[in-house]
Amino acid sequence: MLDVDDAFVGGDSSRPGEARAAVFGDIEGAGALAAKVNAVWRSIEEDLGAGRNRLKNVHDALGEVAGNFRAAEGASGG
C-alpha cells in the first residue's frame, strides 16, 4: 500500500482534497495551517512515490537476477 489513495479504499472516508483556510474557521493563521496540511500531504505523496519507485527497481533487479540464474543453470547443464 504505497499510494495515498489506497488508504481510503474500502473505508467510509474519502481522500481529503486541498485544505483551505475556511476548513479551520475563523482561527488566526488558518491560511498558514491549511498550507502546512497541504505540504504534509504533498510530502507523503512524494515519499510514497519514491518508495514505489525503489520497490519497482528492486522487483526488476530480482527478475534480472532470476533470469541470469536460470541462464547460468542452463549453461552448466544442471
Residue 63, classed as helix, strand or coil, is helix
Residue 14, classed as helix, strand or coil, is coil
Residue 25, classed as helix, strand or coil, is coil
Regarding pTM above 0.85, the answer is no
Total domains present in the chain = 1
First-to-last alpha carbon distance for the chain, in angstroms, is 39
Residue 19, classed as helix, strand or coil, is coil
Give the residue, 58 or 17, on which the prediction is more confident.
Answer: 58
Domain of residue 34 covers 4-75
Give the pLDDT confidence score for residue 42 in this predicted structure: 92
> Which triple of cell numbers denotes residue 20?
483551505
Q: Contact at 8 Å (CB) between 30 and 21?
A: yes
